[in-house]
Amino acid sequence: MRICVSLCFLLLITSCYSPERNCQEFKTGTFSYEALVGTEVLTTVFVRTDTLEIDYFQNKSDTSSIRWINDCEYIVQKINPKNRAEQKAIHMKILTTQNNTYLFEYNIVGDSKKQKGTAKKIN
């Protein structure tokens, strides 16, 4: 009986846990994102406003428009795409937030393959 009560209590505690998701704090600002490309870790810095995102990568900048779906999801579309792949919109979703970082997943709109990353707010 004691084990049953303990298991029920444990189940109750863990089922009520939901990760922090304070997306409002991450809608605008300056962020950095690191990605492993081959054997190198490369850093992208991006500045996001309510409607624009400017990416700075390897001494080049690129501007995209942003359309927020809700507080934690938005669509990114390059303003001046250089090829057909850059014309495709990307769906971004903030999954969790913690201190000055957030975990996100993203995919090309219409594609079911999703990838994850972590961004850090630096300003």
Q: How does pLDDT run across 60-97, given as a tens digit for each residue?
A: 999 999 999 999 999 999 999 999 988 999 999 999 99
Coil, helix or strand at residue 67: strand
Q: CATH number for the domain including 26? A: 2.40.128.490
Question: Per the domain annotation, does 68 fall within a domain?
Answer: yes
Total domains, the chain: 1
Residue 114 in tokens: 């999703």
Q: How many other C-beta atoms lie within 10 A of the C-beta of residue 34?
A: 13
Question: Per the domain annotation, does 93 fall within a domain?
Answer: yes
Q: Provide Rg for the chain, Cα atoms.
A: 18
| Strand-pair partners of 12 | none
| Strand-pair partners of 102 | 97, 119
In the chain, % of residues over pLDDT 70? 85
Mean pLDDT computed over every residue of the chain: 87
Q: What are residue 14's phi and psi, to 5 degrees?
A: -75, -30
For 85, the domain range is 19-121
Instruction: Provide the pLDDT for residue 4.
Output: 45
Question: Per the domain annotation, does 90 fall within a domain?
Answer: yes
